[in-house]
Structure 1
Amino acid sequence: MRIGFAVPQSGPWATPENMRRIATRAEELGYHELWTFQRLLYPVGHPMGPTYRSVHDPLVTLAHLSGLTRTIRLGVAVVNAYVQPVVLAKQLATLQTLSGGRVSAGIGLGWVPEEFEAAGVGMERRGRRGEEFVELLRKAWTDDVVEHDGEFYRVPAAHIDPKPAPGPPQILLGGTAEVALRRAGRLADGWISSSREDLSAVAGRIGLIKETIAGAGREAASFRFVCRGVTQVRPDGAQDARRPLTGTYEQIRQDVAALAAEGVTDVFHDLNFDREIVTADAGEAMRRAEEAMEALAP
């Protein structure tokens, strides 16, 4: 099991100083990966909650932190496929090269209609768009001459250089529907759960993906099953029927071990999804976050 930690990215605690502190301390403590997430906008009156109200850009954040770290991996969970794939391919290729090959690129389909509208992209046929999106990313990273004439995207014969070094970033796909899980098994280097994932269902999702990998004749040993940990430290413990990764440090460590037993390869603790963190004073939020980093370190 590889353990990661999410960067302060949402709310008052997401200051440049706190981002840098979490990144460097996570590397010192042996965490495997730093993680960010994307929220382009927050529609007025939307009930999605405080985590999404004020969010820094995930790739710019990782680019900044890549220069302060040396070994810890850099993951985004996720960038949604309403962005332009060739532009994203260039950004990710540059980040991969500058960081020395540490990038995990999580790709999602998106679910907020207003974001699609603002990006000038239709929300229909998102699954098919996502498949073509991944296809074009891989072409941009590997083909000497990139040429694409698809249903959603067109690229004239062109060189898109330099290629990412030492190789392309890993692509992780999200989703919980059967079609999304099978898509990940066919096309991706890994699958990543969402913040709303029912962790009691993870074993079944992993089984379905492994079945798809085998059916496609792909290599399963290196495939990553990444769990976004909506981690909420509650020192007094949680009540019966508690949500996994909520409770005391000991309960959370036991939950991580249980996820490993079900086939999860990576868990990252994301305090951005704890209302008590993202609505707290920045100093108090960081005090709690640093305590959690120490207690939950690999």
Structure 2
Amino acid sequence: MRIGFSLPVFGKAAATPGGIARYARAAEQAGAAGLWVGDRLLSPVAPAVPYPGYDTMPEEFWTAQDPFAALAVAAAVTETAVLGSSTINATQYQPANLARLLTSIDVASNGRLLPGLGIGWSPDEYAAVGVPMSERGKRLDDLLDLLDTWWTKDIVSHEGVGYTIPDTHVALKPVRKPPVHLAGFGEKALRRVAERADGWLPVWSVPETFPAEMLTSALAKIRAGAEQAGRDPRALGLALRVNAGSGTKPELIAESMAKIVPLLEPDHVFVDLTYLTGSVDEHLDLTGRLLELTAKG
């Protein structure tokens, strides 16, 4: 099992000068298959909607790096690791700027970008960027249309949701069209994955907080929906994020991964270390330990 890890974009490790570059370089050298980012713009003191599973916002999110800057740094100091996001809150960004960012990172990494996109859940973040939260679904559909045009046409024009792009030259193209994966568990989200995405972004928790059947049944729905849409269901990718709770032993993480990975057979799997480490050195130590444990499995 080849596994990846979250870059230190949250928590105390994220505040370490040069920490992302040092971690990315060392993790790839140790055998990490992928380096991943999440996306958190705000950590409100009194959030309109608390973080799932919490009464407020976890302290780890009080310190948050920009995910695109982190991916660009990682691209500059690595050669082989997949550079992924799980998940970028895509509809909180201006679409043309986002398209250019993603393209630039793919070119910088020589085609290693795996953009995982979602629509977020925080009303506070949507208010901060001036985007109506009620429009996030149609804005994601619009963004997918724009990305397809941006990456395949030399002259791009687009009438989007709240913006217009006139005929414009877009000569910078990705090394290969990045495989856009989408997050979500609701019916609409799963249908969008089935009909429009290159892959899905499921999440598994350690310690386990829900049965594996929740993921396997959702995957079955996606594949059935893809087939109904005339798509090859087996061609859809799967990038599994493993969320490890604070204090979770690496042995339990490896044991749980050995259970869920054969059931889902993901193309990519990574462990989110956000709640487990407080420094870049701890991030690296745990990375090495998990690589050892999963290699044995």
Q: TM-score, normalised by structure 2?
A: 0.86
Q: Does 1:119 align with 2:132?
A: no
Q: Does 1:101 align with 2:111?
A: yes
- Distance apart, 1:147 and its partner CA: 1.6
Residue among 153, 173, 179 paired with 2:182: 173
Q: Partners in 2 of 1:231 and 1:16 — Cα distance? A: 25
Contact 1:107 1:173 in 2 (8 A): yes
Does the 8 Å CA contact 2:5/2:287 hold for their aligned counterparts? no
- Residues 135-186 of structure 1, C-alpha deviations (whole Å, 9 max, x = no match): 1111111112212224444221222221112x12121100110110110111
Task: Describe the SS at the equivalent of 1:45.
Answer: coil
- Map of 1:18-37 to 2, 5 A cutoff? 18-37=19-38
**What is the CA-CA distance between 1:205 and the residue it aligns to?**
1.1
Moved over 6 A (4+): none
Partner of 1:124: helix, strand, or coil? helix
Q: Where does structure 2 lack aligned partners over 5 or more consecutive residues?
A: 48-55
C-alpha offsets along residues 97-134 of structure 1, whole Å, 9 cap, x if unaligned? 11110001111112111211111111113212211111
Preserved contact between residue 232 and residue 247 of structure 1 (Cα < 8 Å): no
Partner secondary structure for residue 78 of structure 2: coil
Question: Does 2:134 match 1:134?
Answer: no
**Residue 218 of structure 1 aligns to a residue in which SS?**
coil
Q: Deviations over 1:196-221 (max 9, x none)?
A: 78463111111111111111122333
Matches within 5 A, 1:153-168: 153-165=163-175, 167-168=176-177
Distance 1:44 1:217, change over 3 A: same
What is the one-letter code of the residue matched to 2:109? S
Q: Which residue of 2 is the match for residue 270 of structure 1?
A: 272
Partner in structure 1 of residue 289 of structure 2: 292
The percentage of counterpart residues that share the same residue type is: 32
CA distance in 1 between partners of 2:115 and 2:75 (Å):
14
Residue type at the aligned position of 2:13 = W
- Counterpart of 2:10 in structure 1: which amino acid? S
Structure 2 partner of 1:231: 244
Alpha-carbon spacing, 1:233–1:117, altered in 2? closer, same or farther (3 Å): closer
Secondary structure of residue in 1 paired with 2:13: coil
1:3 — aligned with what? Answer: 3
Q: CA deviation at 1:85?
A: 1.2
**1:199-256 deviation line (CA, Å, top 9, x unaligned):** 631111111111111111223333222221112485xxxxxxxxxxx4451x322322
Map 1:179-194 → 2, pairs under 5 A: 179-194=188-203
TM superposition shift of 1:25:
2.5
1:289 Cα offset (Å): 2.6
CA-based RMSD of the aligned residues comes to: 2.3
Aligned residues: 280
SS in 2 for 1:170: coil
